[in-house]
Amino acid sequence: MTFSLSDSGTIEVFPADVKTSLDLLLIPGLSAGFPSPAADFIDLTIDLNKELIKNPPSTFLARIEGDSMKDVSICNGDIVVIDKSLKASDGKIIVAFLDGVFTVKRIRVEKNGCWLCAENSKYPAIWVTEGNNFQIWGVVVHVIKSF
């Protein structure tokens, strides 16, 4: 699926395919300090489908365009895992459809509406009221990055 973001781009959304399993070596408790001699004796594996996707029928992946969420390490080119079955609540990072445009923002709920807040100070928060065409499309549960 491809959705229009704005005049500047699109967002591609892919359903999560969990038909296969890929078991990868898992190093538990990897130290960011001193090396651990126990790492030589590891025999654990992890399936990323099971780790990242808790509800396959309602889980989608999308590639991020832009830098409005960079202060929470969601950056241009990253892939977000979105779960449409989760209830959005105050402080969650969501994918929203607002007045014909999809966006990723942190939601701040108030009595008479809500704010969609960027995590980059160069973008203003967006006040959403009943007058807007607004829908919460899903909750961001993971981000996949490349370095």
Residue 105 falls in the annotated catalytic set: yes
d(CA 27, CA 59): 26
Active-site residue identified among 31, 36, 87, 105: 105
Active-site residue identified among 4, 6, 68, 85: 68
- Pairing mode, strands 79-83 and 134-144: antiparallel
d(CA 21, CA 47): 6
Residue 89 falls in the annotated catalytic set: no
In this structure, the dihedral spanned by the alpha carbons of residues 111, 125, 66 and 84, taken in order and rounded to 10 degrees, is 0
- Phi, psi torsion values for 37, nearest 5 degrees: -65, -20
Residues classed as catalytic: 68, 105
